[in-house]
Amino acid sequence: MKLSRLFAALAAGLVIGGAAMAQTTMKISISTAQNSHQGVAIDAFAREVEKRTSGRYKVQTFYNGALGGERESIEAVQLGTQELAFSSTGPVPNFVPETKILDVPFLFRDKAHARAVLDGPIGQELLTKFDAKGFKALSWAENGFRHMTNSKRAVNAPEDLKGLKMRTMENPVHIAAYKGFGIVTTPMAFPEVFTALQQGTVDGQENPLSVIISAKFDQVQKHLSLTGHVYSPCIFVMNKAAFDKLSAADKQAFVDAAKEATKANRARVDEDDAKGVADLRAKGMNVVETLDKTKFVQALAPVNAEFEKQFGKANIDRIRNFK
């Protein structure tokens, strides 16, 4: 009798051990610091995945470009050497060209408009475009409205941008637009930007307040202008083959975890936007808060005409006029 109990106990131990071993670990990465709106996003995502799959899936989080810049991370997800990435849309059009339209300057009125577009039919339609490229796009999230910083001069009007050497994202729409302002564009992966600014390789860069704060750009940039020239989404992408292997319930768990993480991410962007200007002024930055946006829009009229040809005026208007 005792022997059979011993065998039963051993068998139970093996089953429990087997269950523990059945945990699958996946990696997700960002280019920014853990204490940032993107860090909040992937930390919340990892927690939610573990909770919603009863610990069967664990997501390991990597920050500060530890696994490479955004473009490399997306590439790794496409190739399947990394399961997940959270990225701004900077390099995304190089993989999924249909997303380019979101980077058109002055396309969105405000954050509420941008979020409504991304969470509504237009954004959901765009998420499906990732499938054919080896990705499962889980959810749109947020980087925020981008603003200009530089070490040379205050930017009050578009002509103040002429001749400034600016780091840009590896994004064809951004590069075309900034050239329209007379900026000397220097595409560069995010992990290289701080050093490039510090060494004077470039005069400036443009990013949302959340990124400017978390990257400590105030240490290497004197001037900030709240141009809000481009709304920058973020996105959770997963390797398509890895997603397809999940059970129906687990697929839903990953999608729901990304949606939950998006809420946390957007809340942090709102918080950073609310306190960011005062925070950066206190750190010594000269902040130009009020600009005549219409002048910036007018300066880009020739470039916008090109964008209307490229994307179709009706498609741009569909986003612009979305209620």
Q: Where do the domains of the chain lie?
A: 2-320
Nearest CA to 188 out of 177, 174, 179 is that of 174
Model pLDDT, residue 49: 98
- Helix (H, G, I), strand (E, B), or coil: what is residue 279? helix
DSSP 19-45: HHHTPEEEEEE-SS-SSSHHHHHHHHH
- How many angstroms separate the first and last alpha carbons of the chain? 73
What's the sign of the alpha-carbon dihedral 309, 312, 314, 319? Answer: negative
pLDDT digits (tens, 9 = 90+) for 60-107: 999 999 999 999 999 999 999 999 999 999 899 999 999 999 999 999
DSSP state for residue 300 in the 8-state scheme = T
The count of other CB atoms within 10 Å of the CB of residue 33 is 16
Model pLDDT, residue 109: 95
Under the banding of pLDDT at 50, 70 and 90, the label for residue 168 is very high
What's the sign of the alpha-carbon dihedral 161, 162, 167, 173? Answer: positive
Model pLDDT, residue 22: 77
> pTM for the complete prediction?
0.89
Q: Regarding predicted confidence, which is higher, 21 or 155?
A: 155
pLDDT at 11 over 90: no
161 vs 203: CA distance, rounded Å: 11
Cα 126 to its chain centre, rounded Å, is 15
Model pLDDT, residue 16: 46
Average model confidence (pLDDT) across the chain: 93
Asked if 295 and 157 touch (Cβ cutoff 8 Å), the reply is yes
pLDDT at 318 over 90: yes
pLDDT at 10 over 90: no
Q: Selecting from 3.40.50.970, 3.40.1160.10, 3.40.190.170, 3.10.20.740, what CATH number does the domain 2-320 have?
A: 3.40.190.170
